[in-house]
Amino acid sequence: MASRALISVWDKEGIEDLGAALSDMGWEILSTGGTSRRLREAGIEVIDVSEATGHPEVFDGRVKTLHPAVHGGILVRRDREDDMETLEQLGYGTIDLVCVNLYPFEATAARDPPASDAELIEMIDIGGPTMVRSAAKNHSDVIILTGPEQYGPAIAALAESGGDPSGVGLSARRELALSAYQSTSAYDSAVSNELERRFSTRHVPSEIHISSGEGTPLRYGENPHQPASFYPAAGGSHGLGMAVQHGGKPLSFNNYLDLDGALRLARNLMHSCSDHSHGCVVIKHTNPCGAATDESQEAAWNNALASDPESAFGCVIAFTKKVEADTAKAIGDHFFECMIAPGYEQEALDILSEKKNRRMLTLESMEPREDEVRVRQVDGGWLAQVQGPPAVDWDEAECVTERKMDSHDMALARFGSAILSEVKSNAILLVSKSEGGCCTVGVGPGQTSRVEAVRIAARRAGERAEGSMMVSDAFFPFRDGIDSANEIGVVSVVQPGGSVRDQESIDAANEHGMSMLFTGTRLFLH
């Protein structure tokens, strides 16, 4: 009896070659709907699944392969006499290869404008995943193919054995089965996540289902003894998984962490600042050491670097707009690990590439940041929260001091909050207006004492602290932070408020002739 393959795919790339190769090796081919038409158009003899089942496709194709003739042929155990006798009694034949890929649920879910619920539901594949799971379960007897990249190796292996299915050995079958279950797992996760988004009113999901594309091994993790990989989000259309690298050695685990921080900050600036402004962010060890906006991209870079040029050695840089040649010239020989931007002028890329081992990444789909559910693993579980640009209601922010803030101060406060939200707590940020925008002048990240964070920001700012605005991610429990700020020349303070000692801080600000804004929004980043 001839070996039989069942081919039923949405993505029809490569099926003519697969079908022709199997047919030339004497295989019978079962198929359905559009796949069978495509194969016949290529001159390949095909048996309709409905002929094998004795049952027509019904309900617009909702039911076509859900039949014992199909699943009996896939799941029968060839080494069990009773199984084979039962199959013969039923009048069914074995199926030795299953080639299936699934309806494009993720692509439909990602459409803009969004697909209707009814259209999306029709993209939930039933028969496809069922066949994939059946074939993968019985992989010792059945070859399961779920992607065009698998067709060539399978054809080559079968050709070596003269078309005998045994040409695909157990090791290869196991790899194919694993890939098959990974594909159905990712598919189910995509369906679950999208239906949760559409059907549930929860801010965070009731369950977390994470799926990814194939991991890319990294040189090592945070340290040389730690193995590591990067896994792009399955079906993702944005973020680091979509970035294109230009030159340099492969990215490391730490590079990805810093790039993530740089990208979040750049997208914060795109959300909070003028579309006409250039934004630049300089990251070191996941914390910003400098950031700036300016009408000139070169000035934005110069001001961001000036915030802490010492820490910026070996940094990661992000720009919110295409990198210009003048900016690349201004960067010069400055040592940085990576850069990410929506694009590069060719001259800029040529200049930046002159230094060996620099990694420049293009992310064309860089968009202003929006709220999203972000997940972190902890020992024994996961945490999830909604995270996005600073959720400050600026219309409700209150200036609580005798000295008031004007529109320029408010613009600076918005800039400072956009940066501060990505500085590890306890965090203090010193910001100032520049000739063409806003810039950081001192960053005090990740301290157990808020007043110590003030001192660190002050040391890094030096004389540039004079006339600056201090932005805090949480309230001041004592007035010492305000007093310390006054000593270095700070003239205004932005903080959430909410301490039982708020009045002490207000009194201190009034004594020093400072303005103080209460935003009502804490911006911790642990």
Task: Give the CA count within 13 Å in the CB-facing half-sphere of 133.
Answer: 12
Angle between helices 450-461 and 480-487 (to 10 degrees): 10
Non-local CB neighbours of 71 within 8 Å, separated by 6+ positions: 130, 131, 134
pLDDT at 35: 93
Answer whether 363's CB lies under 8 Å from 342's CB. Answer: yes
Angle between helices 127-137 and 170-199 (to 10 degrees): 150
pLDDT at 508: 96
Closest CA to 489 of 511, 466, 472, 469: 466
**CATH 3.40.50.1380 domain span(s) along the chain:** 4-199
Write down the pTM of the prediction. 0.86
Superfamily of domain 4-199: Methylglyoxal synthase-like domain (3.40.50.1380)
Cβ atoms < 10 Å from Cβ of 82: 8
Phi, psi dihedrals of residue 279, rounded to the nearest 5°: -115, 140
**Annotated catalytic residue, options 285, 334, 355, 433:** 285
- One digit per residue, the tens of pLDDT, for the chain of length 526 reads 789 999 999 999 999 999 999 999 999 999 998 899 999 999 999 998 888 888 888 888 788 888 888 999 999 999 999 999 998 999 999 999 999 999 999 889 888 899 999 999 999 999 999 999 999 999 999 999 999 999 999 999 999 999 999 999 999 999 999 999 999 999 999 999 999 999 999 999 888 888 888 899 999 999 999 999 999 988 766 799 999 999 888 999 999 999 999 999 999 999 988 777 899 999 999 999 999 999 999 999 999 999 999 999 999 999 999 999 999 999 999 999 999 999 999 999 999 999 988 999 999 989 999 999 999 999 999 999 999 999 899 999 999 999 999 999 999 999 999 999 999 988 999 999 999 999 999 999 988 888 899 899 999 999 999 999 999 999 999 899 899 999 999 999 999 999 999 999 999 999 999 999 999 999 999 8
CATH of 397-518, one of 3.30.910.20, 3.40.140.20, 3.40.50.670, 2.160.20.60: 3.40.140.20
pLDDT at 237: 67
**CATH 3.40.140.20 domain span(s) along the chain:** 240-362, 397-518
**Annotated catalytic residue, options 12, 55, 137, 238:** 137
pLDDT at 38: 94
CA dist 83 and 119 (Å) reads 40
CA dist 321 and 302 (Å) reads 16
pLDDT at 118: 93
pLDDT at 57: 80
Look up 276 and say whether it is catalytic. Answer: no
Superfamily of domain 240-362: AICAR transformylase, duplication domain (3.40.140.20)
Non-local CB neighbours of 186 within 8 Å, separated by 6+ positions: 211, 212, 234, 235
Distances (CA, A) of 134 to 48, 52, 58, 435: 20, 18, 22, 67
Amino acid at 72: G
Look up 285 and say whether it is catalytic. Answer: yes
Tell me which H or E stretch contains 269: helix 253-272
Peptide linkage before 113 cis (omega within 30 of 0): yes
Instruction: Identify the three-state secondary structure at position 363.
Output: coil
Answer whether 356's CB lies under 8 Å from 337's CB. Answer: no
pLDDT at 63: 83
pLDDT at 383: 93
pLDDT at 49: 86
Answer whether 157's CB lies under 8 Å from 168's CB. Answer: yes
Q: What is the DSSP letter of 321?
A: S
pLDDT at 214: 87
